[in-house]
Structure 1
């Protein structure tokens, strides 16, 4: 049995539990006080339940917001919700994330995000990745670990061109380095060719093990955390 087989050996929970209801706590005050304008705060995030001290946002909520992202305001809300889901409650991490809105021209930021989500709608997640990873037109402080989350959520959970855009971050890269035939460094800025390779691998593994592609993504993420912690 290979390490990959072992990763999917135990029965997985259903996707609704493991993926759509994956909820991340967040501190609204840390965001609203740092955004350029408090009115930017997405209304759907204000009505979320608390789990303990903080409210939580799950993947399903962000997917639903993607269904209303045809306008600049909708795309901005989707980006903020994506950042909230991907960041958690760390004030230092939140301060880094909101630099996106303070150190980029906002019209240009919307233009780049609109161009990327248009490629998602056309069914080409690799082209969408390239839009936001373009060396000559990058959005400051929005690297692959977070813009791949944006592409993932912009799909509203529906495969585009047969492929679901998937999140790539340092933990996923650590797992790919261990389980795939290619070399993956957790600290590189992965190019569109490597992203295409990742999507092909993840979807082939999803078919092999009878799961959805984002189930593979989360299993890789969890495996990468184990590799990082040395608990493999």
Structure 2
């Protein structure tokens, strides 16, 4: 597996950290187990037009306080909000995790998987979320967001966690960086390891952060049919 965006396509780190998504607080609150799951930092996000917008930098700040059960809840919700946008059906789809798993079970699985991230690194944390610590309806596209924000700039192991979703996968295939049968979702732990290895190697060769590569892939994937 090789990776791909040209230097001209790479956003700078400030642009990546400033990548912002609009959200509608009123859609989320009724779907959470209770209002304490809502991170107060989201209420401080600036508005542009009708909606407030949350950026990666804000979610990273929320993740920095994820050393308690409440902090991990806030990280989960912030990652979901950042990855979802304002459409009602999208919010409802993301919030299904709260319909099918109790708050206590979510707490336990978040604690376990993020503990694996700190102790064993990104690949084993992916394995945990994808297997024993799976939260129904929290697929790889979103639990890699949780891992990405929780990992910050320093975690165990050779790789920092980065996001892998359908849009990034589409760009990987378009660039010929993966096999034609590379899936659009449901990636195995080994496939996530391959992705991390390739992105980190490419980032190192360009002197940039891995999330700059991921952001470039996402931008490319959004343009593809």
Same fold (TM over 0.5): yes
RCO greater where, 1 or 2, for CA within 8 Å and sep 6 or more? 2
* 2:200 aligned to which of 181, 200, 203: 203
* 1:99 aligned to which of 96, 100, 103: 96
* 2:84 aligned to which of 81, 84, 87: 87
Distance 1:196 1:184, change over 3 A: farther
Return the alpha-carbon distance in structure 2 between the equivalents of residues 3 and 34 of structure 1.
Answer: 39
Which runs of 5 or more residues in structure 1 are unaligned? none
Secondary structure of 1:10's counterpart equals helix
Return the alpha-carbon distance in structure 2 between the equivalents of residues 192 and 13 of structure 1.
Answer: 28
Query: Following superposition, which runs of at least 4 residues in structure 1 exceed 4 angstroms of deviation?
Result: none
Which runs of 5 or more residues in structure 2 are unaligned? none
* 1:37 aligned to which of 34, 40, 43: 34
User: What CA RMSD, in Å, does the superposition of the two structures yield over aligned residues?
Assistant: 1.9
* 1:144 alignment partner in structure 2: 140
Return the alpha-carbon distance in structure 2 between the equivalents of residues 61 and 79 of structure 1.
Answer: 13
> TM-score, normalized by length of structure 2?
0.92
Count the aligned residue pairs. Answer: 223
Q: Is the 8 A contact 1:171 1:186 kept in 2?
A: no
Q: Is the 8 A contact 2:141 2:163 kept in 1?
A: yes
Distance 1:8 1:54, change over 3 A: same
> TM-score, normalized by length of structure 1?
0.89
Q: Is the 8 A contact 2:10 2:213 kept in 1?
A: no
| Cα distance per residue 1:186-221 (max 9 Å; x no partner) | 533001000000000000111122211000001111
Matched, 1:10 2:8: yes
Q: Is the 8 A contact 1:176 1:184 kept in 2?
A: no
* 1:192 alignment partner in structure 2: 189
